[in-house]
Structure 1
Amino acid sequence: MSDRPERERRSGTLPIAAVIGKVIAPVLAKRGFASADLIGAWSAVVGPRFAATTAPDKITWPRRGAADEPGGATLTIRVEGADAIFLQHEASVIRERVNAFLGFAAIARIKLIQAPVARTDTAGTRPPPPSPRAKAAAEALVGDLEPGPLRDALARWGAAVHAEVERS
């Protein structure tokens, strides 16, 4: 019998959060974020007006003992084009919402940078319908199945897959 405790073994799959957390944590820490919570909830924090054209870029925390940097951290927000002026007017409201989300007055200042924002929210957007060629290819694959809901679902799925391959 060994003195070492046995490692807990898992069978099956792991939640993606358990795997991705270890990968993304160093990147977030480098950008000043303690976790991905603020990034994930950004659209709820800033509201629908700024959700698509802004993104939190980094949090700069003051150095310990720095007398010239009183207060909290600086949140740098990426903002696209003309929305920068509107966001500048709403900066104090955004700062209050971020601090409320974090649960304490962490952010003292907001810095805006005009830069492209990567689109991460694809909810509500649908891909274009499959082409007739993609539909025909899918129908050829399910042709041996007897007619019914399963065959119809497989044909739709196959057409969507063929359409995606055509687009890429």
Structure 2
Amino acid sequence: MWIMPEDKLPEYKRRNRAVSVADALAGAIDPVLRKRGFASRDIISHWSLIAPAPFNETTLPEKLSWPRASNNADGATLVLRCAPGQALFAQHEAPAIAAAVNRYFGYVLVRDVRLSAEPFTPGSGRKVQKQHKPSPDAIARVGAQTERVEDETLREALRVLGLALSSKTERNNG
């Protein structure tokens, strides 16, 4: 029986590989974005780089409305959510916003910019994390579990991890 040399064996592909959260959620997010007119999530995920200041912080793309004609060379209408008090300024600078989007993609993607009636609150997606102090019991328990580790940096890393996990468990249970 002939056996293939090890250097000629095909590389085994793992099926249980670790994937990023973005890759795992892509299958769920992409169909929703397609319904909103976006071919990919680039315009949303890179909006802070695409839009000129201050619109990168005061506006957010909601959808792209494509014309019904078969020739889409004219571009789409970009609908933006705008922070309160910024609508007039954003509407006035709509040609500059469209030009910035088209410059980023390298072709005429956006022909017109309209504002949505839905409000956008800048920073509403950011969640402030409260610092949770672990209980003395958790500190003692984690310290006892990590005291036998000889490497000081590893012991400290394990202690921090253990305290973080124990505080998460305490918040969920209590």
Q: TM-score, normalised by structure 2?
A: 0.69
Q: How does 1:16-165 map to 2 (within 5 A)?
A: 16=20, 19-47=24-52, 49-64=54-69, 71-113=74-116, 114-117=118-121, 127-133=129-135, 137-146=138-147, 148-164=152-168
Structure number with bigger Rg: 2
Q: Which has the higher helix share?
A: 2
CA RMSD of aligned residues (A): 3.4
User: Any conservation in 2 of the 1:142–1:154 contact (CA below 8 Å)?
Assistant: no
Name the SS for the 1:108 alignment partner: strand
Aligned to 1:10: 13
Specify every segment of 5 or more residues in structure 1 that has no aligned partner in the other structure, as ranges.
1-8
Q: Kindly tell me: are residues 73 and 86 of structure 1, through their superposed partners in 2, closer, same or farther at Cα, counting changes over 3 Å? A: same
Q: CA deviation at 1:120?
A: 8.2
Residues matched between the structures, number = 156
Q: TM-score, normalised by structure 1?
A: 0.71
Q: CA deviation at 1:33?
A: 0.6
Q: CA deviation at 1:48?
A: 5.2
Q: 1:83 is aligned with what amino acid?
A: Q
Deviations 1:130-163 (A, max 9, x none): 3252x65144223242373223222223333344
Q: CA deviation at 1:14?
A: 5.9
Aligned counterparts of 1:107 and 1:60: Cα–Cα separation in 2: 9
Q: CA deviation at 1:118?
A: 7.9
Q: Kindly tell me: are residues 20 and 87 of structure 1, through their superposed partners in 2, closer, same or farther at Cα, counting changes over 3 Å? A: same
Deviations 1:77-121 (A, max 9, x none): 111212223322322111101111222112111011241358587
Deviations 1:57-88 (A, max 9, x none): 0000000169xxx9321000111212223322
Specify every segment of 5 or more residues in structure 2 that has no aligned partner in the other structure, as ranges.
1-11
